[in-house]
Structure 1
Amino acid sequence: MKKVNKIKWGIIGLGNIASQFAADLLLLEDAELTAVASRNFTKAEQFGEKFNASRIYNSYDLILEDKEVEIIYIATPHNSHAELAIKALEKGKHVLCEKPMALSYEDAERMITASKKHNKFFMEAFWTRFIPSIQDVLEKVKSGAIGNINYINADFAFYGSETENKRLFDKELGGGALFDIGVYPLFLSYILLGNPKEIIAKAIMHQNKVDLQTSIILQYENAQSILHASIVSDSEMKASISGTKGKFHLNSPWYIADGYSLFENGVEEAVFSLPALGKGYTHEAIECHNCIRNNKIESELWSHQNSLDLSKIVEEIKTQIGLSFA
């Protein structure tokens, strides 16, 4: 039997998303969780034991010095993404950084510059881009299956508790609806229609000066996107992509859709089922492996420029709604 050459991962920040990501890594025969790091050593020990990590660190600096680790997955709060990613790249590590990659366009540029300077792979962890159903819908849209896109509608909303989800309401940690979940509907519009000609955004703010809910219109030459994000209300979390010949409905929750439907003249014509492997983080990890093995410093599916474009859109919305992390 041929020996599998495993990509060796390290994880910084061991919260809920990191747990889901680590569980998905176990599903990939060419992935190994080599090391984990948390400033809480007990937490790091428990995490490492659960997901079979070889080494445990109570220091972010120590994991970056580990010669065995090839790629670092950064899953800390948003406000630390930029500095940790840049430091990891400087230490010769490849980096997969949770979204949003940074709290400002300026920091996003610094991260991309570091990737290029040190010739190391860097990708924003926009896992939705690699989900099978999303990939399939994008291919069908490109092939003209529903004609020219003229309308996109997508939201991401849930009830957040200030007691249980303190990070969401913490300005210092980059909290609020826009940066935590608003980037998802913005991503869908961007990946289908590109950069908008005009952005209109309105928000309801918390007393802590983070946005509780934000509604956005993206204006294109021949299309509009109506998008919404909220951490204080629920929604069906469906997404629709309408064109001149028909429309696609992504199953709820659309950002991890296990399939979608095609409608023509208001009638459901076809249903497609494309479940993800595991939770779905597997697919972005597979993309990282492919890029590293092919000596690429960015993904063609979610490139450096894609991340910068989305960051610039978010920056404009941030300005319009009066959101600041300074």
Structure 2
Amino acid sequence: MTNKDRIKWGIIGLGNIANQFAIDLLLLDDAELTAVASRNRNKATEFAQKYNCTKAYDSYEALFEDDQVDIVYIATPHNSHAELAIKALESGKHVLCEKPMALSYQDAVRMVEASKKHNRFFMEAFWTRFIPTVQEVLEKVNQGVIGDIKAVQADFAFYANEAAGGRLFDKNLGGGALFDIGVYPLFLSYVLLGLPKEITAKSIYHKNGIDLQTSMLLQYENAQSLLQASIVYDADMKATISGNKGRIELNSPWYVADGYTLFKNEKEETFSLPNLGKGYTHEAIECHNCIKNNQIESKLWSHQNSLDLSRMVEEVKQQIRLDF
């Protein structure tokens, strides 16, 4: 594949997720990491050298102005997503923005409007939507393999060491369980059942006001979802989708499951569906396909899907009185 046929990526915010994404990007023949940016020049230089990237910038704006970059992957802290995504779109870049795309529904709307105004591809980086397991499970659910869904149970919980510092406990950076990991179980309920009729949420709080643990009950016409997010205990991180004709259990950790088990008619059948790399490759492939087909949004995870999820998160945020 010639160099001009490759999609040229820029990455801003060079933390752990950016490193994992860069590793996965190397697995794609039609991807090239062209530029990276950090407000710390040494960090940018080290990251670039690690992934054989030729350009390292000490400002995000400099990367946005690089006419060799086709698409920007935004992996900065949550509180900066909206402004940086809009700046990138205004600069003529396509954008893949880490979840949650914004800390408010209002900002999420602004991001989508910028994508449409500047006619550039924009997608929230909900990688779970694109992994093979979730693709196949959604297909089987839609085919009625387990009948009508009656219940969804999913949690995302791990013990985070506050003493180690970091953004998880930093209110100014959008820390806490809901925005960092609570979006995942909410996402699963949404892709299976759509927008709920009602959400009930309760939290346990840190002294600085962020939520350490949040439980959510989503009420639908004929189904319920029981969801939990926590940064103060470890969970098995399985997800169960129960219908009136059977159930499906996603392998742990479910948000990047490498397979699932179908329980039906007193039998169980196990399916193995390994991810390519860590799993970020699948969302990158979707970005490439959309850009090559001149689409400004994905059909699998559309602008409206992201806005719907943002609206659900906003409802939980208001119920648990989370104020950034």
The match for 1:109 is 109
Q: Which amino acid aligns with 1:71?
A: I
Q: Distance in 2 between matches of 1:264 and 1:64?
A: 51
| Equivalent-residue separation in structure 1 for 2:246 and 2:216 (angstroms) | 24
Q: Percent identity?
A: 72
| Offset at residue 107 of structure 1 (A) | 0.2
Q: Unaligned regions of 5+ residues in structure 1, if any?
A: none
Q: Supply the distance in 2 between the matched residues of 1:285 and 1:268 (Cα, whole angstroms).
A: 36
Partner of 1:126: 126
User: Whole-Å Cα distance in 1 between the matches of residues 268 and 238 of structure 2?
Assistant: 18
Cα distance in 1 between the residues matched to 2:164 and 2:43: 18
Deviations 1:5-34 (A, max 9, x none): 100000000000000000000000000000
Question: What are the ranges of 5 or more consecutive residues in structure 2 without an aligned counterpart?
Answer: none
What stretches of structure 1 move > 4 A for 4+ residues in a row?
Answer: none
The structural deviation recorded for 1:164 is 2.3
SS in structure 2 of the partner of residue 241 of structure 1: strand
1:169-195 superposed Cα distances (whole Å, 9 cap, x missing partner):
111000000000000000000000000
Name the SS for the 1:136 alignment partner: helix
5 Å-filtered alignment, 1:10-25, equals 10-25=10-25
Q: Residue 181 of structure 2 corresponds to which residue in structure 1? A: 181
Q: What is the alpha-carbon distance in structure 2 between the residues aligned to residue 84 and residue 242 of structure 1? A: 40
TM norm structure 2: 0.99
Letter in 2 for 1:199: I
Q: Give the Cα–Cα distance (whole angstroms) in 2 for the partners of residues 45 and 144 of structure 1.
A: 51
**Corresponding residue for residue 282 of structure 1:** 281
Tell me the residue number matched to 2:159.
Answer: 159
Q: State the secondary structure of the residue aligned to 2:89.
A: helix
Structure 1 range deviating more: 80-89 or 162-171: 162-171
SS of 1:129's equivalent in the other structure is: helix
Secondary structure of 1:290's aligned partner = helix
1:214–1:30 CA distance, 2 compared to 1 (3 A): same
CA apart distance, 1:268: 4.2
After the TM superposition, which residues 65-144 of structure 1 pair with which residues of structure 2 at under 5 Å, given as runs?
65-144=65-144
1:303 aligns with 2:302: yes
Deviations along 1:186-218, one digit per CA (max 9) or x if unpaired, are: 000000000000000000010111000000000
Q: Give the deviation of 1:269 after TM superposition.
A: 2.1
Q: Deviations along 1:272-302, whole A, 9 cap, x unmatched?
A: 0000000000000000000000000000000
Question: Corresponding residue for 2:258?
Answer: 258
SS at match of 1:163: helix
3-state SS of 2:294 partner: coil
Q: Please tell me the residue identity of whatever aligns with 1:287.
A: E
Check whether the contact 1:261–1:268 (CA below 8 A) recurs between aligned residues.
no
What is the match of residue 269 of structure 1? 268
Shift of 1:163: 2.4
Please give the alpha-carbon distance, in whole angstroms, between the structure 2 residues aligned to 1:165 and 1:225. 33
1:233-252 aligned within 5 A: 233-252=233-252
User: Structure 1 counterpart of 2:157, which letter?
Assistant: A
Q: TM-score, normalised by structure 1?
A: 0.98
1:42 aligned onto 2:42: yes
- Post-superposition offset of 1:166: 2.4
Aligned 8 A contact 1:9 1:33 in 2? yes
Post-superposition shift, 1:249? 0.3
Cα separation, 2, equivalents of 1:164 and 1:27: 32
CA distance in 2, matches of 1:139, 1:315: 28
1:197 pairs with 2:211? no
Rounded to whole Å, the distance in 2 between the matches of 1:268 and 1:133 is 20
Matched residue, 1:322: 321
Q: How many Å separate the matches in 1 of 2:257 and 2:321?
A: 32
Local SS of the residue matching 2:103: coil
- Which stretch of the first structure deviates more once superposed, 164-173 or 143-152? 164-173
Paired position in structure 1 for 2:290: 291
Query: Matched residues in 2 for 1:168 and 1:82: separation?
Result: 19
2:244 corresponds to 1:216: no
Contact 1:261 1:271 in 2 (8 A): yes
Separation of aligned partners in 1, 2:147 and 2:134: 17
Q: For residues 83-135 of structure 1, what are the alpha-carbon distances to aligned partners after superposition, in whole Å with 9 as ceiling and x for unaligned? A: 00000000000000000000000000000000000000000000000000010
Give the Cα separation in 1 of the matches to 2:163 and 2:32: 35
Query: Residues of 2 paired with 1:8 and 1:234: CA distance?
Result: 38
Identify the range of structure 1 (46-55 vs 80-89) with the bigger mean alpha-carbon deviation: 46-55
Q: Aligned pair count?
A: 323
Q: What are the equivalent positions in structure 2 for 1:218-233 lying under 5 Å apart?
A: 218-233=218-233
Report Cα offsets for 1:121-174 as digits up to 9, x if no partner. 000000000000010000000001100001000000000111224210111000
Q: CA separation in 1, counterparts of 2:158 and 2:296?
A: 35
